[in-house]
Amino acid sequence: MAADGMSLGEIECGDRRAPLPWLLGRVPRPLRFLFVGSLGLSVDLGVFALLTSYGLHPLVARAGSLAVATIVTWRLNRVFTFDRSGRHQGAEAMRYAVVVVAAQATSYVVFAALVLSVAMRLPQAAVIIGAAVGAFISYNGHRLFAFAPRAPSSPTDR
């Protein structure tokens, strides 16, 4: 979906479709999600490295890096990965937040368990493993709940 609420396939440039959105619209959704997730993971790792370089404990630094990466991926997924749900953006954001809490909590628990046991010397590996577990939950939660199309209202709902 484009920033103005249009889906990628609807963006046009004059008489011709804009090439980048047109091309991205042809890429399967799971691949777009992985691309956005990779960007988010890069942000996550960068912020994590920055915060730990200032002496923050890895568990504290990870909480901060997750927050920043979540904001980045929310905007990118909304624009590039998922179609319009038919819900108001505020309602969609709340649904997104529910999924993010579940996915990021799982990611953080996996990270913490690894960093406190086998990955103390290489916490970045724990970040990546936790992110992979969280990505599975995140993709399915966003696809099936946060960005799921709103069901059409029936006459009995009025």
- 100: amino acid identity, one letter: V
Residues 115-142 pLDDT 10s = 888 867 788 888 889 989 998 999 999 9
Cite the beta strand spans of 77-129 per DSSP E: none
**3-class SS at 143?**
helix
Tell me the mean pLDDT in the region 19-37. Answer: 80
Mean pLDDT, range 50-66, rounded to an integer: 92
Residue partners of 119: CB distance under 8 A and separation at least 6: 125, 126, 129
Taking only the tens place, the pLDDT of each residue in 81-108 is: 887 778 887 888 788 889 989 998 999 8
**pTM tops 0.75, yes or no:** no
Question: Residue range 7-13: average pLDDT?
Answer: 45
CA 48, CA 68: separation in Å to the nearest integer?
10
pLDDT value at residue 3:
44
Residue 61 is predicted with a pLDDT of 93
For the cut 50, the answer to whether the pLDDT of residue 15 exceeds it is no
| Residue 145 scores a pLDDT above 50 | yes
- Per the prediction, the chain carries an average pLDDT of 81
Share of the chain above pLDDT 70, in %: 80
pLDDT at 149: 82
CA dihedral in degrees (59, 65, 82, 143; nearest 10)? Answer: 0
**Residue spans per domain, the chain:** 28-150
